[in-house]
Amino acid sequence: MAAATVLSSPSTFTSVVTLFGVGVLVTEFLMLRAHLLRSQVRLYMVQSFLVAAVALVTGIEQGNSGLYVVSVLSFIIKVVIVPMVILRLMSVDSADLSQSAIMKLPSMLYIALVTAACGFFIGVSFRTASVIGRGTAASGNAVSVDIAIVLVAFILIVLRRDVISQVAGFFSLENGVTLFSVSVARNMPFITEVATFFDLLVAAVVFGLLMRLHHMKTRTLSTHVLDRLKG
Amino acid sequence: MSAGTWLIGIVVVPVMATVLSYLFTSVVRRVATVVSGLVTLALSVMVALRVADGGRVAAGALFGADSLSGIFLLVTAFLYAATAIFSIGYLGGSRGMGGLIAQRGQIAQAVWQSTGAGKDGDNEEASRQWAVSDRFDKRFFTGINIFCGAMSAALVLSNLSLVWVAIEITTVVSALLVSLEDTDGASEAAWKYVIIASMGLGLSLLGVLVLYIAAVPVLGSSHALQIGYLVHVHGLARGTVELAFVLAVIGFGTKMGLAPMHTWLPDAHSEAPTPVSALLSGSLLAVSFYVILRFEQVTILNVGNVFPHDVLFVFGVLSLLIAALFLLVQRDVKRMFAYSSVEHMGIIAIGAGFGVPIALAGVMLHVVSHGLAKGTAFFGAGSFKIKFGTKDISRISGGLTALPWSGSLLLAAVAALSALPPFALFRSEFMIVDGGLSAGQDLGVVVLLVLVTVAFAGLSWNTVKIILSPDRLEVAGRQEPSVWMVVPMLAGVVGLILLGLHPPADFMRLVDSAARELTGRVAR
Amino acid sequence: MSGRPGWCFAVNLSTYAVQLIQVMTVLLLAPLLSGAIARFEARLQGRRGPRVLQPYYDLWKLFTKETLRPNGSSTLFIAGPVVAFCCYLIVPMLIPVLTSFPLPLGYMGDILGGGFILGLGGFAVALSAADTQSPYAQLGSSRAMSFGALGEPIVLFVVFSVGVITRTDLPYAMAATIRLSGSAMLAPAHVLAAIAFFLVVLSETGRIPVETHSGTLELGMIDEARAFEHSGPAMALLTWGSAMKQMILYTILINVFVAPWGLASSTSAMAVLLAVLSLLGKALVLGCVFAGVDDSFAKLRLFKITEYLAGSFLIAVLALLVYLVGVG
């Protein structure tokens, strides 16, 4: 009984949403070190699952049925279809990505950590600078984590020089933005959400095709070889 | 037909052409693409005339256009039509039209040599076969139609988030088009393009959401991203709008080629098939700028002039500086034109940063005339590539002898890009400079003029080398590859001269009313 | 609490007695915990495993043997295990082992003080190992020190973040704050700090993925290697000490972070007895979790341990950050 009251209290809702958000952030940190194509894709699945869970929890808390749909769509598209498309197109799923980092892991982690901290504080200043319409404390708090997720996604793309990690970085970025829209920009017009998901699907296919092309051309997943064009 | 139907037509016609190109054979493909391009152009002109005096046409809550959209519609649709026609020449008439197939083989060879991958005989043969294959043809035309359809859609959709979706679709489709020639360089360029542009678009989606947060308390959730409402709304939270604007400038600025986010641009524009390069440079950059302008409108209304103008000015100067310096050292024709695009986007951003009506009118004119000139220039580069089998400046000479029409038209286009009279870019840059002086931005004007001169030096020196120099290589005869490739260039140059000497009154009304939209003073 | 079950449980003990019981609990139950975990681990691996009480027999055997000192070693060699053992006896006085209210000596030191005393214990062991001139023991002690140097900041950050959340640095008060509000348990900063501390405990108790605690491969050893040269009663003290250290760390994890319930709220003998049993129960569950982790992961290569520690450091810092920006 005590547990029930605890779970229905707004502060617990905030905690859970933030915790899942931090979970997404941690999966990004793990992506920084993932060595295999497969593990990178799995991390993305976990991350997307967390995003879908946040949408579901938020939907329950606000009684917003639109968010249920977002949650289900997130799950179907990001946890099932996108990983499937990527794995199907890249039939080299045990490919080793361990050489693609441009520096040692601890340094990367610390850079990412500092970046996340910057994101947190940007979120704080954003909260103080803006009037978030009809926002509860939850939405305000989540901004910090979401901005951190977006920034760390950039770090991931910059620090890992292989196509898989870069795509994982882009999709993480997109996940961060989705989280942002779920937790802050509620009541988004439905068509917008659906269009965004459709767009994500197209992007996944195109990314897959280009990765495959890259792999065919260079026989590697690394992007270190992409230095022909300059000037 | 009502004006709203025209808007729907602008989106639906390219989609239909896409379906036709995908399903049918090469002749149908060409006809469908050209017809679609011309119809879209006609519809865009009609829409532009309707909104020339301000006001807004709309079709439901989904589509809408005002004079600002009108300007960008004109340039996008013109390039669509021109590229459709040019592509027929570039790819050869059709599968059945005999001799041109061989030329397409030559294209492949050119691409191969230019990327330095032609050492392996098997690869070269494979690439040549790929370039003449029907699958290449199908993908090319299907892609061009989706690409142009998405760009037009971005201009006529009235919900900002859907505009974002359309822009993202242009990114992924154009990335596939960039990779189409299947060379190492193309795959590298496509990868860099898609990753960098997608990162930018991720940020810009964040910008859209932040704007939504700002607008919801005032407009309510169903109108918060409707452009028609956004451009008149007051009383949004200042900090939030500023954040949204900065995110949008960085995000969409990545696609627009503003430095320092421009790094993908020279690669993608030089490695793409030439007709695609023309579309990328002439219209895609402009469409991205259009979205930035939409954000700027909201920002001006709610934050004031100074902040957005300063942001645009800084990015503009940076782009112009970097582009001017890189233009001096280019050795690849298409890469040179790509940097010229960065340069002109810089000029446009600076003009928007001056922010006075005459400068803004200049910016509008500049967008259109840059589209015409850059399209023509890339078409010319395409002809040269086919004729000489390379894009390397040092290996092309005597262009005027070998290609009398394309050579002279390319020369005209480069003169236009260097803002020489009587071309339209002279007029538009003059207006921008005039606006800068009247805004009291003397230093900004000086910087602009100095950098434009540096860029002029780089661009004209290289072009003179390839066109006016004596024909050292003695390439086979004075003959144009195809008349299909000359017509769009001719149209572009005629348009440039027309807009430069005596622009139609309707067009200038459109430009003026778009400029008024941007000053935030239009009351409607 | 009207119908008390028996007279002897109705007795109210003095707080000093409870304090003593607290130390004795750790002292006496630690080998039992080790034995139970070893048994469970063996079962997981499909072996029968040693008896649960085996550690007591081992200790008895070691105590009856003589202590040998390697040539050239100083008194440090003998003093190390004794000092460490004493340290591990002091720490239980500072942390909430059995009671939810602070005992008299609980104010002797805050959680940092407890950490320092634990650290002193580890240092004494390392020093006495370094004194032996045996390459393996020295290897173990230098490794333990270098990884310890990475582990310390994590513990500090964990302590800081829990400290700022609960606005105190006294373990008792921390546990009380968390016990009183369920949402504090779920606060992201707290959860992250608990995870980070879990990872530290994993490495501090010499478990996979940091080290194979039951292995015999000297090259991969860290903690185990330090006891290589010890024998007899000194060895017994070392073994017992490390069992106590494990129990102390478990207790902190349980009673400060994860499940501060089931503690005695009065000094009645019944309540204290129940608290002992519940602590043992919770520690056994936790031990099984650790054994499960041990069984399902592979040992990291030595130079990857820094990555592991960097990861837990990162989580600890995240916890603090999340709290500082008001998200937690």
Question: Domain boundaries in chain C?
Answer: 11-324
The pLDDT, as a whole number, for residue C46 is: 86
Report chain B residues whose CB lies below 8 A from the CB of A28.
Answer: none
Residue among B67, B160, B82 at smallest CA distance from B364: B67
B96 class by beta-carbon count within 10 Å (0-12 exposed, 13-18 middle, 19+ buried) = exposed
Q: Can you name the residues that pair with B64 across neighbouring β-strands? A: B58
Collapsing DSSP states into helix, strand and coil, what is residue A2? helix
Residue C258 DSSP symbol: I
The domain segmentation of chain B, as residue ranges, is 3-519
Decide if C327 and A29 are in contact by the 8 Å CB cutoff. no
Q: Which residues contact A80 (CB under 8 A, 6 or more apart)?
A: none
Q: Can you name the residues that pair with B353 across neighbouring β-strands? A: none
- Which of B366-375, C248-257, C318-327 is the least confident region? C318-327
**Of residues B471 and B384, which shows the higher confidence score?**
B384
Range B283-293 average pLDDT: 95
CA distance A44 to A26: 11
Q: Can you name the residues that pair with A96 across neighbouring β-strands? A: A36
Per-residue pLDDT band for C83 (boundaries 50, 70, 90) equals: very high
Q: Which residues contact C6 (CB under 8 A, 6 or more apart)?
A: none
The pLDDT, as a whole number, for residue A93 is: 53
The pLDDT, as a whole number, for residue B468 is: 82
Tell whether the model's pLDDT for residue A125 goes beyond 80. Answer: no
Range A191-207 average pLDDT: 82
CA distance A2 to A8: 10
Tell whether the model's pLDDT for residue B219 goes beyond 80. Answer: yes
| ipTM of the complex model | 0.89
Interhelix angle A10-33/C188-204, rounded to 10 degrees, is 50
Task: Give chain B's mean pLDDT.
Answer: 87
Per-residue pLDDT band for B517 (boundaries 50, 70, 90) equals: confident
Other Cβ atoms within 10 Å of B121 Cβ, number = 8
Range B102-124 average pLDDT: 48
B237/A contact by beta carbon, under 8 A: yes
CA distance C304 to C296: 18
CA distance A228 to A210: 17
CA distance B50 to C57: 98
- Which of A29-43, A176-190, B78-92 is the least confident region? A176-190
A214/B contact by beta carbon, under 8 A: yes
- The verdict on whether omega for the bond into residue C209 sits within 30 degrees of 0, i.e. cis, is yes
Mutate to test the interface with A, among B115, B165, B263, B462 (most CBs of A within 10 A): B165
Question: Which amino acid is it at B402?
Answer: A
- pLDDT, one tens digit per residue, over A50-109 is 999 998 988 888 887 888 888 898 899 999 998 888 888 777 655 677 777 888 887 888
Most confident of the following: B112-121, B393-402, C82-91? C82-91
Supply B303's token pair.
């934050």
Per-residue pLDDT band for B111 (boundaries 50, 70, 90) equals: very low
CA distance C108 to B439: 73
Mutate to test the interface with A, among B119, B172, B192 (most CBs of A within 10 A): B172
Residue among A166, A163, A168 at smallest CA distance from A45: A168
**Of residues C260 and A187, which shows the higher confidence score?**
C260
Supply A219's token pair.
């026989």
Tell whether the model's pLDDT for residue B97 goes beyond 50. Answer: no
Residue of chain A whose alpha carbon sits nearest to that of B226: A189
CA distance B378 to C86: 83
Range B114-134 average pLDDT: 57
A45 class by beta-carbon count within 10 Å (0-12 exposed, 13-18 middle, 19+ buried) = middle
- pLDDT, one tens digit per residue, over B317-360 is 999 999 999 998 888 889 999 999 999 999 999 999 998 999 99
Please give the helix or strand (H or E) that residue B453 lies within, else none.
helix B442-467
Å between A68 CA and nearest CA of chain C:
24
Per-residue pLDDT band for A184 (boundaries 50, 70, 90) equals: confident
Q: Do A154 and B199 contact (CB within 8 A), yes or no?
A: yes
CA distance C113 to C182: 27
Decide if A192 and B185 are in contact by the 8 Å CB cutoff. no
Supply B484's token pair.
């299909």
Residue among B270, B521, B292, B252 at smallest CA distance from B392: B270
- pLDDT, one tens digit per residue, over B225-283 is 899 898 888 888 888 898 899 999 999 999 999 989 999 999 999 999 999 999 999 99
C182/A contact by beta carbon, under 8 A: yes
- pLDDT, one tens digit per residue, over B19-73 is 999 998 888 899 999 999 999 999 999 999 999 988 888 888 889 999 999 999 9
Q: Can you name the residues that pair with C264 across neighbouring β-strands? A: C99
Distances (CA, A) of B295 to A112, B31, B146, C189: 30, 38, 25, 37
Collapsing DSSP states into helix, strand and coil, what is residue B234? coil
CA distance C185 to C258: 8
The pLDDT, as a whole number, for residue C221 is: 66
Report chain A residues whose CB lies below 8 A from the CB of B173.
Answer: 206
CA distance C143 to B234: 65
Residue C66 DSSP symbol: P
Supply B494's token pair.
């005629």
Tell whether the model's pLDDT for residue A5 goes beyond 70. Answer: no
Q: Do B212 and A177 contact (CB within 8 A), yes or no?
A: no
Per-residue pLDDT band for B81 (boundaries 50, 70, 90) equals: very high
